[in-house]
Structure 1
Amino acid sequence: MVAGTLWRYRYDRFGFTTRSSQLHESRLLSIGGPLFHYALLFVAGGHVMGLLVPEWLTQRLRASETMYHTVALTMGGTAGLAAVCGLAILLWRRLRVPAVRRATSRSDRLVHPLLTTVLLAGLAATASSVANPYDYRLGVAVWFRSLFALDPDVPAMAHAPFVYQVHALPAMTLFALWPFSRLVHAFTVPVGYLVRPYIVYRSRARATPYRHPASTVSDGKRPAAGQQQRARQR
Structure 2
Amino acid sequence: MKDALDIFLWVIFPYLALGSFIFGTIGRFAIFHAGVTAESSELLEKKQLMIGSILFHIGIIMVFAGHVVGILIPKSFTDWLGIPNEMYHIGALVMGGIAGFMALAGMMILSYRRFTNKRVFKTSSFSDLMVNVSFLIIIVLGLSASFIDGAILHPEFNYRLNLSIWARQIFVFHPDYHLMLQVPILFKIHVICGFLIFAFFPYTRLVHALTLPWQYIFRRPIVYRKRPRV
TM-score by length of 2: 0.83
* CA distance, structure 1, for counterparts of residue 106 and residue 143 of structure 2: 14
1:151 counterpart = 2:196: no
* CA distance, structure 2, for counterparts of residue 171 and residue 40 of structure 1: 13
1:111–1:177 Cα contact (<8 Å) kept: no
The equivalent of 2:119 in structure 1 is 99
Q: 1:195 to 1:115 in 2, by over 3 A?
A: same
Q: 1:68-104, CA deviations, whole angstroms, 9 ceiling, x for partnerless residues?
A: 1111000001100010000000001111211210121
* CA distance, structure 1, for counterparts of residue 196 and residue 187 of structure 2: 15
Greater helix percent: which structure?
Answer: 2
* CA distance, structure 2, for counterparts of residue 24 and residue 202 of structure 1: 35
Paired AA for residue 59 in structure 2? A
Q: 1:6-28, CA deviations, whole angstroms, 9 ceiling, x for partnerless residues?
A: 11111012222111111111111
The equivalent of 1:137 in structure 2 is 160
1:51–1:137 Cα contact (<8 Å) kept: yes
Identity of aligned residues (%): 37
The equivalent of 1:127 in structure 2 is 147
1:187 counterpart = 2:207: no
1:13 counterpart = 2:33: yes
Paired AA for residue 180 in structure 1? Y
1:168 counterpart = 2:191: yes
The equivalent of 1:90 in structure 2 is 110
The partner residue of 1:116 within 105, 126, 136 is: 136
The equivalent of 1:68 in structure 2 is 88
RMSD: 2.0
The runs of 4+ residues in structure 1 deviating greater than 4 Å are 191-203
* TM superposition shift of 1:141: 0.8
* CA distance, structure 1, for counterparts of residue 219 and residue 77 of structure 2: 36
* CA distance, structure 2, for counterparts of residue 56 and residue 191 of structure 1: 36
Unaligned stretches of 5+ residues in structure 1: 211-234
* TM superposition shift of 1:59: 1.5
* TM superposition shift of 1:190: 2.7
The partner residue of 2:48 within 14, 17, 28 is: 28
Q: 1:17-65, CA deviations, whole angstroms, 9 ceiling, x for partnerless residues?
A: 1111111111111100011001111001100111121111122222221
2:100–2:139 Cα contact (<8 Å) kept: yes
The equivalent of 1:40 in structure 2 is 60
Paired AA for residue 130 in structure 1? A
Unaligned stretches of 5+ residues in structure 2: 1-20
- How many equivalent pairs are there? 207
